[in-house]
Amino acid sequence: MELTWYGKTCIRLKGRDAVVVNDPYPAIVGPTGRGITGDVLTFSHPDDAPLGKKPGKVSRDGLTAIPTSLEAAFVLDGPGEYEVHDALITGVRTYRDAKRGAESGKQTAFATELDGLHTIHLGDIGHELTQEKLTDIGHVDIACVPIGGALSATTAAALIAQLDPRIVVVMPVCETEAECDEALKKFFHEMGAEPVAQQKLVVSASTLPSDTTTVVLESRGKV
């Protein structure tokens, strides 16, 4: 499976039989200057920017514009269990703050089984997980975790300890590059590990590291 980060919380999982795109944003552009493609889209939360007057195709809840290059994809934007294009996907109700959504609203974390790998995309989550939510998510090989948003560095590290993945993919969600640099610095200090920087992550069930490895990916999109 090939995992690519496109900025914000947008992650693309490319497997042998399906391509799953998490949290694509309307202005997303691939490395070739064209829009990216995929079979399945997941939206953890509505786009924070208001919809334009003519947004084109929108998500099922009507709150997020779908990029033109992804309009043919199957869209998921809420909790449930799904099997689409040979990908097994579970949406788990979570929140964007530590007060069950009272401050920033609800969201959905999506667990995807693709090519024998279990990936959890945490969206813009703002809290640690209960045992019930951990059971719903199940086994995790790769965790995509937002850094610099509602989660403090300490809470992000605690959340990763709960999930116990082999690979952590960080998703900086700060407003400025300086803020992201500071947030990542604090996070890696909490983790007590050095990050591995690379353009994209190519991994299989047989090549997973034995110890938890934190990966920083180069953004392939233009926000």
- Over the stretch 116-129, which tens digit does the pLDDT of each residue have? 999 999 999 999 99
| Interatomic CA distance for residues 84 and 143, integer angstroms | 21
What is the set of domains in the chain, with CATH numbers? 2-217 (3.60.15.10)
pLDDT band at residue 223, thresholds of 50, 70 and 90? Answer: very low
Instruction: Report the pLDDT averaged over residues 39-50.
Output: 88
Q: What is the pTM of this model?
A: 0.94
Residues of the chain with pLDDT > 70, as a percent, come to 94
**15, 115 contact by CB (below 8 A):** yes
DSSP the chain: -EEEE-STT-EEEE-SS-EEEES--TT---TTSS----SEEE-SS--SSPP-SS--SB-TTS-SBPPGGGTTSEEE-SSEEEEETTEEEEEEEEESSSSTTTTT-EEEEEEEEETTEEEEE-TT--S---HHHHHHH---SEEEEEESSSS-HHHHHHHHHHH--SEEEEEE--SSHHHHHHHHHHHHHHHTS--EEES-EE--GGG--SS-EEEEEPP-S--
Task: Provide the pLDDT for residue 130.
Answer: 97
**110, 21 contact by CB (below 8 A):** no
Q: For residue 121, give both structure tokens.
A: 């995309």
Closest CA to 200 of 215, 180, 183: 215
Instruction: Report the pLDDT averaged over residues 58-70.
Output: 86
Instruction: Return the higher-pLDDT residue of 54 and 43.
Output: 43
| Interatomic CA distance for residues 34 and 221, integer angstroms | 10
